[in-house]
Structure 1
Amino acid sequence: MGLRSTITRFRRDRDGAVLPFVGIVSLVLIGATGFGIDAARLMLLHSTLQRSIDAGALSTVARLDNATIDVQLRKFTIANFGDGQIGATLDSLTWTISSDNKTLTVNASASAPASLMKILGIQTISTSAESVIERSTSGLELALVLDNTGSMAGSGITSLKSAANTLVDILYGDKPIAEDLYVGIVPFSQTVNVGREHTDWLKAGSLAALDWGTTLWGGCVEAQSASADDVSDAAPSAKPLVPYYWEDSANNDWISVNSKGKKIYDATLNDSNGPNKNCPVEVTRLTPEKAKIVSALSAMKAVGNTHVNFGAVWGWRMLSPKWRGLWGGDMTTYKLPLDYSTPHMSKAAVIMTDGANTMSEEVYSAYGWLADKNLGTSNSSAAVTELNNRLTKVCTAMKNAGVIVYTIAFNNPGTSTQNLLRGCASQNAFYFNSPTTAALQSAFKEIGNSLSNLRVSK
């Protein structure tokens, strides 16, 4: 039977079966078309939802803080979802944090009006998605090189302690001992305190040759005599150190002589007067223990003038594998510092200051007296230029060795210092101008987040 005969037969059929058949076929065709269109819309809806909660979770997981996570998660998820797309709505958004505070699980659902499928009585299309984001801190050695000079006294040192603790909380979370995370602190003024136990780092006989009165060497050291050595990570076996010693002088009067020619020492010799004047608190060696870092931050105090370069070079020596086996403590236990090329390990330094480098006639420092010309000049301005140049050289050497450098200018230290710190950082985004306490807090928080390695695990 030909096609034309079949059509003619359908035309002549009087039992009414043809029209229902055509209606059914039409509905099927419309339904199939509607299903295809709405299936494509559903796929778009699902991909948008998945992408949005991934972005929201990634933006939030750097600091899994129950107090703020819900607000942050919703903020970033909604921003990426785009409520107006195909008329979609975000119906639910829930999250949970694992017991070890490392993994954030986000579940969400979304819906949109159906298109042609409404003919079949289906009014909406809906989907759900899950994102599991693991907060993992890659192996890290971190030196916090922090300004402890006199200009930080009062609210400045208080603000620094709070901001630095914010970074520590981000990296450690609630863990008392972190895995593959080692943090050290290098407080600096016009010198650095390496610790009194390291007498073997000093030139032979240099300690005994000095009159310490009723006190002892505080642990601070002077700079290397040669400028090339002063910007180097060379170990003390190759370049022995000299103890920092502020002699009795008009502006540090701690020795007098009685009528019989006997020396009379000031009753109180500390970081305010005596041979250890303006010697800051001791460095804290790299450690995985959060409590040690928190305690060290609490102990910081503001004394003395500013040699940022000297703090920076000792921050590098805290991270340089040339110093492995020398520092003692946890660094010996964990065989730190590790090699630069150690897989899945990074080295970073945060250098923070609130002021410009200084070198004045009346202040003894790691470079002795200005008149000694240990910086190649007895002119104060020229000496400061030399200190700035040495900071640039130290930063360049650190970065070339593979150390990631972050810098913070606190409390408007001046344009030249800000430019100096900006050039010291590994990249522009790693320099933070922090004119206020709030900005300082934000800077340490951003650095902490930057140091947190994030990955999507599902």
Structure 2
Amino acid sequence: MFIQSILSQAKRIASRFARHDGGNIAMTFAVALVPLLGFVGAAVDYSRANAARSAMQAALDSAALMVSKDLSANPTMSATDVTDKAKAYFNALYTNTNAGQITVTASYTTNTKDGSTVTVNGSGAVATDFMKMVGLPQLGIGSGSTTTWGSTRMRVAMALDVTGSMGMGTGKLKAMQDAATGLIKTLSANSRMTEDTYISIIPFAQMVNVGASNKNATWLKWDEYGSCSYPYYDTKAECQAAGQTWNASSNKNAWNGCVTDRDQPYDTTNEAPSGTARYPAYQYNACPSAILGMTSAYGADNVKTLTGKIDALSANGGTNQPIGMAWAWRTLQIGSDPFPAPAKDSNYKYTDALIILSDGMNTKDRWYGDGANWSTLVDDRQKLLCANIKKLNPVTNKQDTVIYTIQVNTGGDPESAVLKSCADPGNFFPTSTNAGIADAFKAIGNSLNALRVSK
């Protein structure tokens, strides 16, 4: 009876165990654990591979940029040297150890209409910790970086202040000459052919010099040419307003090449010179050296012409920034007198840039100022001029000319609001030291020679 009771209980317990499915959870979990661990392990391996690939890409980008700079200085570098330099730069920059040895190759294409290019590629493999259990002992990684330069040609107009305050033993004129020469050489070093970079130089004071050899040019007018009975007055309007006699002159042979501001509103526009929009000849005693129109920066002879113009600058006269900017803008114009810029090739992109350096506030133009003190009325003309330069091209809906401005403020003047507002964002360079002039020109050179990276 006792045995039968035990057997009966055992049957009931067995029957309950057969009907109970709670233990299946453990069995299911045990079965699912293997692929679950596989997915987690794969995520870890892929994460390590992605980190290695990201580090590789960053190192390839930097290596491509560095090699391109070397090629800018030495475009005849051999293919072996290009690859060796790329490997050296990459190895110095790549710090991720997951991929072990990376194979680096490089290729270089010289200047075409699309520019010069250097391509640096890298490939390697990351050993797996988990995926090797399912037959994947490693994950391959690879990437590349291409740097292109020279596909954008440049036209650069440099308006340089040569007023009296730039001289007088201050060292500013020499610092400007050295810095401007450095920019010319930098732009020249990155030119591969005559058409790549053109530079014009516009020395300005109260007026500019267009060259006495242009005395018979149709774009000149002579109603401001002459002298006042009282020499203190520079312009016809000033002379007559002071009750003095204006003595008109017809002797063009005595003209020193100077012109004053165009009649308003043409002083702030880029109208072709005809009728009242022509340039008024004037006999200004402090006439700066003549404008040099667009000149190629390619080749030693052209560089010598450009730097020779810079070296010959001297300082004298009052400050009229608008006339310097207006003439810089004029030299950027294609096929239009005076100083027409060369035609542009439709197969290339172009950047037109205007750089103006001045060490003081505006003191005198044709109508306003006394030549010694700051004139906000001259500033107002400059604001109108800058607004016109910055107008969007109706065809491209973009600004045609990039503006850089430099204020050399060694005399404690206030910050030039007009120079700051004229500059495009990030392109205003104020300096209170002569050494800062070089820094400003270097920054502008880096901006103009900015390389673009494509992946």
TM-score calculated relative to the size of structure 2: 0.66
Aligned partners of 1:86 and 1:112 also within 8 Å: no
Closer, same or farther: CA 177–159 of 1 in aligned 2, 3 Å = farther
Structure 2: gaps spanning 5 or more residues: 1-33, 75-81, 227-247, 393-399
Q: Of 320, 344, 357, which aligns to 1:352?
A: 357
Aligned to 1:410: 408
Aligned partners of 2:209 and 2:259 also within 8 Å: yes
Report the secondary structure of 1:170's partner residue.
helix
**AA in 2 matched with 1:45:** A
Pairing 1:206-221 to 2, within 5 Å after superposition: 209-210=248-249, 216-221=254-259
Counterparts of 1:294 and 1:28 in 2: how far apart (Å)? 73
**AA in 1 matched with 2:208:** V
**AA in 1 matched with 2:314:** K
Higher relative contact order (CA 8 A, sep 6+): 1
Report the secondary structure of 2:254's partner residue.
coil
Q: Of 306, 309, 318, which aligns to 1:305?
A: 318
Counterparts of 1:444 and 1:127 in 2: how far apart (Å)? 42
Work out which of the two has the higher radius of gyration on C-alpha atoms and give 1 or 2. Answer: 2
The answer to whether the aligner puts 1:394 opposite 2:378 as a matched pair is no
Aligned to 1:287: 295
Aligned partners of 2:208 and 2:290 also within 8 Å: yes
**AA in 1 matched with 2:421:** G
- Offset at residue 132 of structure 1 (A): 2.9
The answer to whether the aligner puts 1:103 opposite 2:142 as a matched pair is no
Aligned to 1:147: 161
Closer, same or farther: CA 422–120 of 1 in aligned 2, 3 Å = same
Closer, same or farther: CA 306–56 of 1 in aligned 2, 3 Å = farther
Q: Deviations over 1:43-94 (max 9, x none)?
A: 4422431244225534874685669x99x9999979996x4x6767797878
Q: Deviations over 1:281-320 (max 9, x none)?
A: 1111113244232332233222222111111111122224
**AA in 2 matched with 1:286:** M
RMSD between superposed Cα atoms in Å: 4.6
Q: Deviations over 1:248-284 (max 9, x none)?
A: xxxxxxxxxxxxxxxxxxxxxxxxxxxxx32111111
Counterparts of 1:116 and 1:39 in 2: how far apart (Å)? 10
Closer, same or farther: CA 244–59 of 1 in aligned 2, 3 Å = farther
Counterparts of 1:237 and 1:408 in 2: how far apart (Å)? 32
Aligned to 2:19: none
Give the percent of matched residue pairs that are identical in Structure 1 and Structure 2: 29
Closer, same or farther: CA 136–149 of 1 in aligned 2, 3 Å = same
Return 100-109 or 402-411, whichever deviates more.
Answer: 100-109
- Offset at residue 133 of structure 1 (A): 1.2
Closer, same or farther: CA 78–439 of 1 in aligned 2, 3 Å = farther
Aligned partners of 1:62 and 1:449 also within 8 Å: no
Counterparts of 1:216 and 1:75 in 2: how far apart (Å)? 64
The answer to whether the aligner puts 1:203 opposite 2:221 as a matched pair is yes
Aligned partners of 1:104 and 1:133 also within 8 Å: yes
Q: Of 206, 229, 232, which aligns to 2:269?
A: 232
- Offset at residue 173 of structure 1 (A): 1.7
Report the secondary structure of 1:139's partner residue.
strand
- Offset at residue 229 of structure 1 (A): 2.6
Counterparts of 1:45 and 1:220 in 2: how far apart (Å)? 65
Structure 1: gaps spanning 5 or more residues: 1-26, 247-276, 360-365, 368-373
Report the secondary structure of 2:381's partner residue.
helix
**AA in 2 matched with 1:408:** I
Counterparts of 2:410 and 2:383 in 1: how far apart (Å)? 20
Aligned to 1:54: 61
Q: Deviations over 1:300-355 (max 9, x none)?
A: 2222221111111111222245xx33135xx37x34xx69x998333221111121
Counterparts of 2:163 and 2:222 in 1: how far apart (Å)? 30
Counterparts of 1:311 and 1:144 in 2: how far apart (Å)? 9
Counterparts of 2:327 and 2:448 in 1: how far apart (Å)? 21
Aligned partners of 2:72 and 2:190 also within 8 Å: no
Aligned to 1:327: 338
TM-score calculated relative to the size of structure 1: 0.65
**AA in 2 matched with 1:404:** V
Aligned partners of 2:48 and 2:98 also within 8 Å: no
Counterparts of 2:264 and 2:39 in 1: how far apart (Å)? 81
Pairing 1:407-446 to 2, within 5 Å after superposition: 407-412=405-410, 414=412, 416-427=414-425, 429-446=426-443
The answer to whether the aligner puts 1:135 opposite 2:135 as a matched pair is no
Pairing 1:6-405 to 2, within 5 Å after superposition: 38=45, 41-55=48-62, 57-58=64-65, 61=68, 83=95, 102-106=116-120, 114-116=128-130, 129-153=143-167, 155-173=171-189, 175=191, 177-199=193-215, 200=217, 201-204=219-222, 209-210=248-249, 216-224=254-262, 226-238=263-275, 239-246=277-284, 277-290=285-298, 291=302, 292-320=305-333, 324-327=335-338, 331=340, 334-335=342-343, 344-359=349-364, 367=366, 374-375=367-368, 384-400=375-391, 402-405=400-403
